[in-house]
Amino acid sequence: MLKKLFQGFWAGLARIILRNRILILLGIVAATVFLGLQWKNMRFSNTEANILPDDHPETVQYEAFVKLFGQEDNAIVLAIKDSLLFLPENFNRWNKLSKQFEAIPETDFVISTENLKELVKDNEKQEFFLKPFLDSPAKTKEEVVALKEHLFNNLPFYENLLFNKESGSVRMVVYMDKDILNEPVRNEFILNDLEGLVDDFEKETGLDVRVSGMPYIRTWNSKIIIDEIGIFILGALLVTSIIFFFFFRSFRATFISMFVVIIGVMWAFGILGLFKYEITILTALIPPLIIVIGIPNCIFLINKYQQEVKKHGNQALSLQRVISKIGNATLMTNVTTASGFATFIILDSDLLKEFGIVASINILCIFMLSLLIIPILYSFMPLPKTKHLKHLNKKWIDLFVNWMERIVRNHRIAVYITSVIVLVLSIVGIYQIEITGSRIEDLPKNTKFVNDVRFFEEEFDGIMPVEVVVDTKQKNGILKPATLLRMDQLATEISETPELSKSVSVVNLVKYSKQAFYNGIPKYYQLPTSQENTFIMDVARKSADNGNLLESFVDSTGQTARMTTFMRDVKTERMEEIESDLIKSIAKIFPKERYNVFITGKALLFLKGTKYLVKNLLLSLALAIGLISLFMAYLFRSFRMILISLVPNLLPLVITAGLMGYLGVPIKPSTILVFSIAFGISVDDTIHFLAKYRQELIANRWQIKKSVYNALRETGVSMFYTSIVLFFGFSVFIVSSFGGTKALGGLVSATLLFAMLSNLILLPSLLLSLEKNIANKKVFKKPQINILPKEDESPKSK
């Protein structure tokens, strides 16, 4: 009953489409215009990818920190490592650059040699005050050298903040207004104002300025994503159109296919705008993905149309059969592909959830566009000429199909031995895979801003902030000598960790206060003794300016303080070791009953986010496999056939994972996506093959061998065509500047190629070897839905 209903549905749908061609085209135009109007809502992401859910403990702790001290990733750092900086004209120009930044509204404040303040004691008033480091512009080289010596030797408070004593490099810290950190104006400030001022400085002085900081990195990331969307779309269109034309040798067929996928791309952008989703590094992949996934739909539909025309030459009947025969099969394969992407929707990560929603919706949209536009446009055109049908009889395709058939017929044992060897080698490779949460690894290599990141890692021990929050559980508990001493002990532990910079906290300020109390003598840059503490802290409390300095380190109640350090870009394993060591040190130094101490910061959030994402993406892959298995069980109603069909689709995933281990490609958010995407696409070939195989079984009265070979010949060509298009289509992503996107493109391409060979060689071999177990009506029951109608039997089987 259900089968007849579906057959009637597709026959009826074919009549509706062909009888209402103009109305449907107008509907597509109207929908395209509507979605085109939604483009105005599109915006490129200016925020950090929200990987962890809002209720995750690490997120809760970070939000608590932000509430107390504000966002910690608003600093842009500039540095120069060149002795020529200390010439009067260059030094003064550097200070002028600082003033120029201070004058820009997007800047909160700047710390540099130009506005540097020294903490000194007023002996008469018995209080501290801040004295300018510079009274006036330097006039001679001797003056600059004296200022340098004073800064490097007498002001340890600013070491590693404004200078590296060993290398002589000097830096400036520009703190952006926190209110615009996640707004488009941030990008305008960095790409226009900041870059312009730095370029002018470099031209005038000939000095090389290094620039970095999290706002700077995020802005350049956004810019590269914007630039690459156009490259991906044009690249995907160019590659797929060339391959399509090579296969079909028809400008008409190529233009129609390109027209369909271009409309699909317009809809993809429109749906992003409709949902008001930001364009991130993941959602930026959707438009080219739609091109790559949409072209196989066009291949199936146009190939079937040309086969029908060649068979009987009746255009109306050909178009009707294209819709009624191929429509159902194409729908099923698109549903499985969409299901692979839809599994991301269950994850708590907003980044992946949005990607899953938009990708799955657009895959179904491109199917609908293909099914409507291709038959309608062909209905207005004359029948294809004989030269356009020549590709149906290409000798090299016959050679390929015959080669596959020969292997399946005569070398099945070799196929199994090869598969087992490859499987074992792949499993060995899997054990060599690493998981990485590296922040820098995926950034475009050999670019100035990535090289600058490496510079700051060497000179100032990194730019990724790590915060230790110390809650004393009592008002004004931070400035108690015991608390300061414990914080100083933790600061020592931090400084002894090679991947972390020296920490900055209220401890540094108290040490600076003691140095100032003793007339700025550097050896007194240390915590006051118990005898000194009373009168030094009394002087400090009377100093209004010093109180303002405290705001950066201590909350308004004096109960909670922050200790800020910066981390180098290290592997996940090492980051976990550092975190574990810090937690042990904190437990040893701060008694739990008196202190509540926790670690947070964007570096730690990124680590936790990567681990969380990998775990959830593995769950997503398992769900995709389970969901598609259930789908195939519903279609074929045979548990044994589900197991047989999973083997040629899981093996390519294992091979790819093994290759990642051998090639040193780590598991990370971008590469773990490969498996869900590739599985959802590759299973389409299995559905096509098994649907045709089942049809041949019935037609040939359950003769396994004849049915397998007929199915192989019938589906081999279209599977080869679509796999080649998908292989080269995904290869477009290899040109990306981002390591993750590059790896995604290469790995998906390789996996789909393995899947094609597996479906065309291993799957038929398994069917032949297990014929006694599956070649009966009890095992292979009538399906709930006929993917391929009965009249689509091969001529040989009739």
Q: Residue 562: what pLDDT?
A: 92
pLDDT at 428 over 70: yes
- The H or E element that residue 108 is part of is strand 107-111
Q: What whole-number distance in Å separates Cα of residue 53 and Cα of residue 297?
A: 37
pLDDT attached to residue 581:
92
Compute the mean pLDDT over every residue in the chain, rounded to the nearest whole number. Answer: 82
CA angle 323/328/332 to nearest 5° reads: 140
Q: Half-sphere exposure (CA, 13 Å, Cβ side) for 386?
A: 0
Q: How far apart are CA 517 and CA 119, in angstroms?
A: 9
Under a CB-based contact definition with an 8 Å cutoff, are residues 674 and 655 in contact?
Answer: no
Categorize the per-residue pLDDT at 635 as very low, low, confident or very high, splitting at 50, 70 and 90.
Answer: low
> Of 651-660, 738-747, 782-791, which range is least confident?
782-791
1 to 6, 332, 633: CA distances (angstroms): 9, 19, 18
Candidate ranges 36-40, 243-247, 539-543; pick with highest mean pLDDT: 36-40
Token pair in block for residue 672:
């773990």
Q: Are residues 762 and 415 in contact, defined by beta-carbon separation less than 8 angstroms?
A: yes
Q: Strands, DSSP E only, in 15-86?
A: 43-44, 75-80
> What's the CA gap between 32 and 368, in Å, rounded?
13
Residue 251: what pLDDT? 85
CA 251 to CA 248: how far, in whole Å?
Answer: 8
Query: Which residue ranges form the domains of the chain, and what is each CATH number?
Result: 2-48+219-431+607-797 (1.20.1640.10)
Give the other-Cβ count within 10 Å of 195's Cβ: 14
* 3-state secondary structure (DSSP) of residue 193: helix
Tokens of residue 706, six digits: 């004849």
Distance CA 490, CA 586 (A): 7
| 275 three-class SS | coil
pLDDT at residue 309 is higher than 60: yes
Residue 681 has a CB neighbour count (10 Å cut-off) of: 28
Phi, psi (degrees; rounded to nearest 5) at 51 = -90, -50
Whether 771 shows a pLDDT value over 80: the answer reads no
Q: Is the predicted pLDDT of residue 769 greater than 90, yes or no?
A: no
Instruction: Supply the pLDDT for residue 798.
Output: 32
Residue 261 CA to residue 237 CA, distance in Å, equals 8
Cα 171 to Cα 209: distance, rounded to the nearest angstrom: 9
Confidence of residue 362 (pLDDT cuts 50, 70, 90): very high
- How far apart are the C-alpha atoms of 480 and 504, rounded to whole Å? 18
Bridging pattern class, strands 278-279 and 210-212: unpaired
What HEC string does 495-554 produce?
A: HCCCCECCCECHHHHHHHHHHHHCCCCHHHCCCCCHHHHHHHHHHHHCCHHHHHHHCCCE
Half-sphere CA count of 141, side-chain side, radius 13 A: 4
Handedness of CA 650, 409, 783, 311 (dihedral sign): positive
Tens-digit pLDDT profile for residues 636-667? 666 777 777 788 888 888 888 888 888 888 87
Cα separation, 154 vs 516, in Å, equals: 11
What is the structure's pLDDT at 203?
A: 94
> Quick check: helix, strand or coil at residue 33?
helix
Total residue count of the chain as it appears in this document? 798
User: How far apart are alpha carbons 654 and 651 in whole angstroms?
Assistant: 5
In the predicted structure, residue 22 carries a pLDDT above the cut 80: yes
Pairing of strands 278-279, 43-44: parallel
pLDDT at 797: 36
- Using CA atoms, how far apart are residues 236 and 736, in angstroms rounded to an integer? 13
236, pLDDT greater than 90 = no
**Phi and psi at residue 116, to the nearest 5°:** -60, 140
Q: How confident is the model at residue 794 (pLDDT cuts 50, 70, 90)?
A: very low
Mean pLDDT of 735-752: 82
How far lies 782's CA from each of 388, 710, 791, in Å?
A: 38, 20, 16
Which ranges constitute the DSSP H helices of 275-384? Answer: 286-312, 315-321, 327-342, 350-379
Collect contacts of 37-42 with beta carbons under 8 A, ≥24 apart: 37/270, 38/269, 38/270, 38/271, 38/272, 38/273, 38/274, 39/269, 39/270, 39/273, 40/273, 41/273, 41/274, 41/276, 42/269, 42/272, 42/273, 42/279
pLDDT of residue 791: 47
For residue range 327-351, what is the model confidence (pLDDT) as tens digits? 777 887 788 788 878 878 877 777 7
CB atoms closer than 10 angstroms to residue 68: 17
pLDDT average, residue stretch 503-531: 87
Contact 254, 241 (CB under 8 A): yes
The residues with which 121 forms a beta bridge, in sequence order, are 128
What secondary structure letter does DSSP report for 789? -
The whole-number pLDDT of residue 550 equals: 66
Question: To the nearest 10°, the Cα dihedral for 537, 473, 56, 64?
Answer: -40
Of 152, 172, 177, 153, the closest CA to residue 161 belongs to: 172
Which tokens belong to 324?
């009624």
Distances (CA, A) of 324 to 306, 378, 383, 797: 15, 16, 19, 21
**pLDDT tens profile 75-122:** 899 999 999 999 999 999 999 999 999 999 888 889 899 988 888 887
Q: Where are the beta strands (DSSP E) in 143-214?
A: 170-176, 210-212
Residue 2, phi then psi, degrees to nearest 5: -65, -40
Pick the most confident of 24-38, 591-605, 616-630, 682-696: 24-38
pLDDT at 540: 58
> Which 3 state secondary structure label does DSSP give 474?
coil
Q: Which helix (H) or strand (E) holds 120?
A: strand 117-122
Q: Nearest Cα to 252, choosing from 305, 296, 293, 289?
A: 305
Q: Is pLDDT at 787 greater than 60 in this prediction?
A: no
Residue 557 reports pLDDT greater than 70:
yes
Per residue in 250-296, pLDDT (tens digit) is 888 889 999 999 999 999 999 999 998 888 777 888 888 888 888 88
Token code pair at residue 572: 């996940």
Residue type, 32: T
| Model pLDDT for residues 190-213, shown as the tens digit of each residue | 888 899 999 999 999 999 999 988
Which residue in 21, 763, 782 sits closest to 415, CA to CA? 763
How confident is the model at residue 28, as a pLDDT?
94
The DSSP string of 124-147 is TTTEEEEEES-SS---SHHHHHHH
Highest average pLDDT, of 44-53, 133-142, 239-248, comes from: 133-142
Q: How far is CA 434 from the centre of its chain?
A: 17
Reported as type and span, the H/E element at residue 107 is strand 107-111
Rounded to an integer, the average pLDDT of 470-495 is: 91
Of the candidates 682, 692, 716, which has an alpha carbon nearest to the alpha carbon of residue 399? 716
Backbone angles phi, psi at 654, to 5 degrees: -65, -40
Q: How many CB atoms lie within 10 A of CB 790?
A: 11
Residue 603, pLDDT score = 75
Q: What is the mean pLDDT of residues 440-448?
A: 73
